[in-house]
Amino acid sequence: MKKTLGLLLLAVSLPAFAALPSYSAPEILARANIGAGFNLPEMSFISNTCPVINNRGDVSFKLMAFGGENNQGLWLKLGSEENGKIVYTAPDMRLLTEPSLNDKGQVAFNQYDEGITDGIFTIDGDTNNVQQVLKPVSDDIAYYTYPQVLTNGKVYFRATNQDSVRSYYQYDGSLKQIISEGVSSYGQKSSYLFKPYLNDSGAMTFKRRIGEAGEWDERNPDEILLLKPKGNSYESVVIAKDKDGDHDSKFLGFTNSTSLSKSGLIAFTAILEDTSKAIILSQDGKLKNLAIEKADNISEIELFAPKVNDQGLVVFRAKDMEGKRGIYITGAEGTKKLIGEGDEIMTDLGLAKILSNPNFPGFGGDVDMNDHGEIVFYCLVMGAKNNEEWGSAVFKITPQK
């Protein structure tokens, strides 16, 4: 039985096809290990990577090192290919951001080091062509983070200047600032701009803290904001406020990441009045609680980004009542756990188990899901019989037809 919320969230009319799907067994895409790996060379290392998947079924993720060298790299598997491969190696002394991936198979990333940035790059998955789509065009921008390239070629990212002030930019031949900390924009001044999430129409959603630049105290109000393109500007919609900004709000606060589907569905994690966390879905300005701690055998919703698709399904990371981490899916018809720590999983070496250790997480990074309900995630695997460490791996799980 679901826990009573003690708050009234407006119902959302979700698509009729938002039933929770049944999933096939996970498919291994890559495995990194000191010895032989799978679809990766020996001496490869993945750590808390955030794999991404698009609607073509292409998958990409970041490598910390590979082949015995200390260079970071990017791995890509097209949906039409049987195997993936490393498609980019960072130069010596350069780091890479986590990649993003559009529906044309373009991987976008930033290359940087302390005090140095090389701008934003893309890799065309169909041709493996690497392009520097945005060179550093302003000495004032020290970091280009969360880069995304839409299928129309427009580039979006969060910039941090030499004074540690964050702004969102669009680039389409020239830079256009969308919002900046410390400047009154869309009815408020932002003291901190968190990670933005865009869909292919150029709409973006994000959490922002209200106040003067640098006023980061938790007592400052937070809100979830949606910006929708309107001509050459944006229309802003406040999706939710916390109690610091609205005494009538049912939310004490929000975790730092949101997501946005192509049709405009928004998912975020909110902290309720009783301090429990819940996965919230927003559609047409109405809010619906989809999952909550202490219900559906969930003890804790983890602080990773929930991902929503156009079917109204949200995938997220959480712990069960035994404290074991897992991957969960939720929607209008309920919530269920897909896989968790200690569960058996098939690998290239045979039957394995996802690491279950109270002192070390078996899962890492964000999970991702496309509009077909395909999900990708990263975990650590052990031999099912001998508990031998088999390294870290990226898997895909696909709805049954």
CB 265 within 8 Å of CB 281: yes
What's the pLDDT band for 15 if we cut at 50, 70, 90?
very low
> Can you tell me the distance from the alpha carbon of 326 to that of 205, in angstroms, rounded to the nearest whole number?
26
pLDDT at site 81: 95
Given this model, what pLDDT does residue 140 score?
Answer: 83
* pLDDT tens column, 33-79: 999 899 999 999 999 999 999 999 999 999 999 999 999 999 999 99
238 burial via Cβ count (<10 Å: 0-12, 13-18, 19+) = middle
- pTM value surpassing 0.85: yes
115 vs 109 pLDDT, higher one: 109
pLDDT in tens, 315-343: 999 999 999 999 999 999 999 999 999 99
Mean pLDDT of the chain: 93
Nearest residue to 44 via CA among 32, 35, 54, 56: 32
pLDDT for 363-390, tens place per residue?
Answer: 999 999 999 999 999 999 999 988 899 9
Q: Which residue has the higher pLDDT, 296 or 139?
A: 296
* Distance between CA atoms of residues 104 and 100, nearest Å: 12
Residue 394, token pair as written in the block: 């990226």
Report percent pLDDT > 90 for the chain.
Answer: 89
Is a pLDDT exceeding 90 seen at residue 401?
A: no
Q: For 211, how many CA atoms within 13 A lie in the half-sphere containing its CB?
A: 15
Give per-residue pLDDT as tens, 187-217. Answer: 999 999 999 999 999 999 999 999 998 899 9
The CA dihedral of 322, 369, 62, 342, to the nearest 10 degrees, is 20
State the pLDDT at residue 18: 57
The answer to which of 18-22, 199-203, 228-232, 326-330 has the lowest mean pLDDT is 18-22
